[in-house]
Structure 1
């Protein structure tokens, strides 16, 4: 280290002023001083744990008032009045952390700002818990009977800040983000009286009961009947300036909010598939567990993406023209049957680890391959049975998921069950090489496992039983029960065993618990189809690429590009990665010609069967390079095609493929698999 000039001069002065005495023999033998022993801190005990939730009533009802009229700023202003029992000296309030349907601790604590607590005219002192930062401890003066909490929830205004929940035309209010609740109680034992102020002229939709309208400072004030906090959190509100409500029958409604009024104009015939979804859902499950149900659907490119299940409703964001441009947007509508199925699978019947008494207790996700995997399976099936999506689009979606898994290197090291931890581990953060890391594959691979279960049941019972029978017996039980029933893996196996004696425990162990599980194609193949490769995209992939302007080359070059030619993903050890292409690069030219999607696809097709590599000119940061990619296999896109089985020459003698039977409508007026 270089010394400062003043220190050097001082050293010289001392050297001149003090004569150096000759060292004695004794002093010459003295070494440096011995170093002290290394410091070793001792752990300090953690502060007392938060009180465990008890299944006893909270004393009194909380008044929760949200002012959402400032849509230009995306601000929700919250006033919450919390009663306290006589003699209480400290109140601990929690901001929900483990959110239902998120399967992870996703409570947006950073968006809670401007927090204060008062009792009468007195400002109360509060501290944040040092271990659980979503817990607030408030010191209460003697004789305090209620505490008023005030804060602001700042909805993101840009995607980079998080999910946008409020625009100038509409909003999607989730009560758990607008409220605190008392620690130490089951949330079903905490009573709440909710109210909401909206801009004048807006309409609101929610599954909450007893709506009443009054005047608000900045707009219309709505209030609902007192309910419990668990039901409140499970009952979001969608509202907007441009809205429309369509009854679908059987107490089910399609509630639409939109960026622009013209997005709500479409032929009445477009509602028939959604009415068919209600009929097919009843036919599939038999019993149901809601007294009324609302599809809360935003037709918006400004609201943040969402598809979130609730017991008596669901929050869904669709692309703006998803209903008006029916054919082109076919790929976008599967979320409706998927979330509807969750009312049975996930909300009423719930894995025991995914039901918690409050929103502080950690969730255990191990059975998400049932909760989400079988729901995705039924989402495919009901989309085809109702016509919400065409049969060809559904087959394309199955092909796309199957192909991604068949060629996924991550399946060799990571089991399907281990992917159920991904919501906590990764929180849906983009990954550099997702094909090796794996993601939330309990959705797609789980669905393919359930397709194999369906075909196993059909084969084992001579076509008399299928997964429909499991759904009716398992998820349709206790018709009219609006509560929650938990289940274990053993319960799932026992229900299947009642339909077909079989080694279901071994079946699931091989497919769920073990890395390098068998190919997920068995259900497709036993259903009379096979995965094949073509040089053009299947209907599902073609429509997605047309809308997003992206280019999917996963099964050829091993990469996907966004609309500007940037590499969004590269397959681990695929041709592109082996050549040195990684996510974040931008393809500027192909064989010397400026990049465009059709330029690249034509070059891949022309190179098929040859020996010359493709030359891609790429940009990474501020450098450019030409990279040779060795790929002569042409364009490869996954499709499902039926395996032709010869009959005896008589009409209808060839057996109908099991997958076709599965996708066929069960009720009059359904799509009948077409």
Structure 2
């Protein structure tokens, strides 16, 4: 295959999936002739869509470099993802290595007896000297496998071409035994490829994915692709998703598709990744332009890249008629409730959390002292949307800002915070410097009732209260996974990692803990026995209270015409409530 098509590519990759049952493949990369004294060869240290350094090079063994006569070349490892090949004369260079691919959940590489998922960031080395040259990828796969990618197909079966490494690294390959459907929408071609058996309905997925793709045009005008590939993995537990310039990969446990809540999670994730085709893949903050695959790309606007994408994902479903207004507002309520139970909102702004994303961990410390580019970015995006609607008397929304970014800052350009504020002023006629300082560069504290009243909505937390210890157990364990900052347990000197033993001298179990808490009322003094660093201690806790019912968004009494008009301008729907405040059927 390589000899027949070598004239069409300057950098050629051959991936021989020779031991799929052992998650192994052999990768060979052929580089054009170089006159340099050494050729630098890299494997990225992170992948697009996940702002974290990953040990991707750990999957590489048996690295070999040869010249165009097939003679070995000397080389040395100079960084975790870098090899330096010494050259004594101009020559073409071929490198080969064994690849171990058993990292399905990271969405970089996975090979087994039924398929291979190959993201170039964890599979295909590149040389900075030839990063911008055309590439050809050829696969040698077991009989019966089919291969798919957002890249253009090559002349031979199981081969693909790309204009450069940047397109290659953003165009993963799915090859193996899978289910395939193709559909067209608005002049664009789409493929759905599902690997793994599960309780999904392929035909329903196609119907709704088509609706999602069409709903995108209520935000943007035009598409940055001609073909698009949805890759779905029905897994034994791995879950997550990653966006790419012409495709996405979505992973869910194989039996998490049928129930309404599960299906909405799937189709909402698909919408999120599809929104990314514009926001991040067609235009993105200048800190991410160009991608530097060997070190972090810092930006204080990751909240826009991710949080704004989260903000629009369910709007696509709502506008497409896939999600009901009730389901949409329930999701907004959950996000507000989560914010109110994240003490880190008082300490970290969305700009700061964007810069911190590359080193962000999780767990107790993160929730108590940090926020999240996704969840907090969603709320800032909603607040900005409402501000634009108010300032423009419903003529301009956050959708218009996204369209302007798509028009004015298409790659290879990148935008910064000043560019966004300038666009906001152009759209609304108002200066957003103070708004930006208050909502982006400062930890936010929204009056959500006031914010939502624009659209005729109010927060209903219910009147019922219940006992609250301000701590959570890890799954099926008595170890504390979270202790709410300044909550009851925190005030008692209890910390995450402590192991609960007894309440008021009576043994507690993971199953009995929640019920045991409700044996008390606010103000009660309770003795909490725990192991702290393997030492038994007892601490006195004063029980607090918390709302018993789930937070909900409801219609205000007697909503005005202006509020109903705002609701429609915001979400694209007529007022969904009856006079009694119930959702219309």
Give the shorter-chain TM-score range.
0.7 to 0.9
1:189-338 counterparts in 2 under 5 A?
Answer: 189-214=132-157, 222-247=158-183, 249-250=185-186, 251-260=188-197, 262-264=198-200, 266=201, 268-302=203-237, 304-338=238-272
CA contact (8 A) 1:205 1:239 kept: yes
Select the structure of larger CA radius of gyration.
Answer: 1
Q: In the alignment, what sits opposite 2:401?
A: 470
Counterpart of 2:63 in structure 1 is: 115
Higher alpha-carbon deviation: 602-611 or 376-385: 602-611
SS at match of 2:357: helix
Where does residue 13 of structure 2 map in the other structure? 64
For residues 255-654 of structure 1, the aligned pairs below 5 Å read 255-260=192-197, 262-264=198-200, 266=201, 268-302=203-237, 304-356=238-290, 358-360=292-294, 362-426=296-360, 429-439=361-371, 441-475=372-406, 484-514=412-442, 516-519=443-446, 521=448, 523-534=451-462, 557-559=470-472, 561-587=474-500, 592=506, 595-597=509-511, 599-609=512-522, 611-613=524-526, 629-634=541-546, 636=548, 638-646=550-558
224-233 vs 635-644, greater mean Cα deviation:
635-644
- Asked if the contact 1:535/1:634 (under 8 Å) is kept, the reply is no
* 69, 83, 103: which one aligns with 2:32: 83
What stretches of structure 2 of length at least 5 have no aligned partner?
A: 1-7, 575-582
User: Does the 8 Å CA contact 1:108/1:177 hold for their aligned counterparts?
Assistant: yes
Q: Secondary structure at the match of 2:251?
A: strand
Residue 280 of structure 1: CA displacement? 0.6
Q: Is the 2:216–2:275 contact (alpha carbons within 8 Å) kept by the matching residues of 1?
A: yes
- Relative to structure 1, the CA distance from residue 673 to residue 623 in structure 2 (aligned partners, 3 Å threshold; closer, same or farther) is farther
Distance 1:655 1:398 in 2: 18
* 8 Å Cα contact 1:296-1:315 kept in structure 2: yes
Would you say the 8 A contact 2:53–2:358 is kept in 1? yes
Choose 563-572 or 368-377, whichever is displaced more.
563-572
Give, in whole Å, the separation in 1 of the partners of 2:464 and 2:97. Answer: 54
1:113-152 deviation digits (Å, cap 9, x = unpaired): 22111123422111122xx44222111243x522111112
> In the comparison of the two structures, how many residue pairs are matched?
566
Unaligned runs of 5+ in 1: 1-58, 215-221, 538-552, 667-671
CA RMSD of aligned residues (A): 3.5
Deviation of 1:389 (Å): 4.5
Shift of 1:259: 2.7
Q: Could you tell me how far 1:245 is from its partner in structure 2? A: 2.2
The residue matched to 2:387 in structure 1 has which SS? helix
Selected match of 1:656 from 564, 569, 573? 564
Paired position in structure 2 for 1:171: 116
Q: Determine helix, strand or coil for the equivalent of 1:384.
A: helix
Distance across 2 between alignment mates of 1:445 and 1:500: 24
Describe the superposition over 1:592-649 as per-residue Cα deviations: whole angstroms up to 9, x where unpaired.
465354x433334442456353x6665667666666543241554652322413268x
Equivalent residues of 2:108, 2:120 under 8 A apart: no
Query: 379-388 or 368-377, which moves further after superposition?
Result: 379-388
Cα distance in 2 for partners of 1:357, 1:317 equals: 25
Q: Which secondary structure state, in structure 1, belongs to the residue aligned with residue 310 of structure 2?
A: helix
State whether residues 529 and 538 of structure 2, in contact with CA within 8 Å, keep that contact through their aligned partners in structure 1.
Answer: yes
Query: Structure 1 residues 123 and 490, CA, compared in 2 at 3 Å: closer, same or farther?
Result: same
Give how far 1:192 is off. 1.2
Bigger drift between 70-79 and 230-239 goes to 70-79
Distance 2:414 2:45 in 1: 21
Cα 1:610–1:420 shift into 2, 3 Å: closer
Q: Distance in 2 between matches of 1:357 and 1:632?
A: 48
* Whole-angstrom CA distance in 1 between matches of 2:218 and 2:62: 50
Secondary structure of the residue that 1:234 maps to in structure 2? coil
Q: Which has the larger displacement, 584-593 or 76-85? A: 584-593
Q: Which moves more between the two structures, 600-609 or 88-97?
A: 600-609
- Secondary structure of the residue aligned to 1:93 is strand
- Find out whether 1:140 has 2:87 as its counterpart: yes
Asked if the contact 1:60–1:83 (Cα under 8 Å) also holds between the matched residues in 2, the reply is no
The SS at the match of 1:294 is: strand
Report the TM-score, using the length of structure 1 for normalisation: 0.75
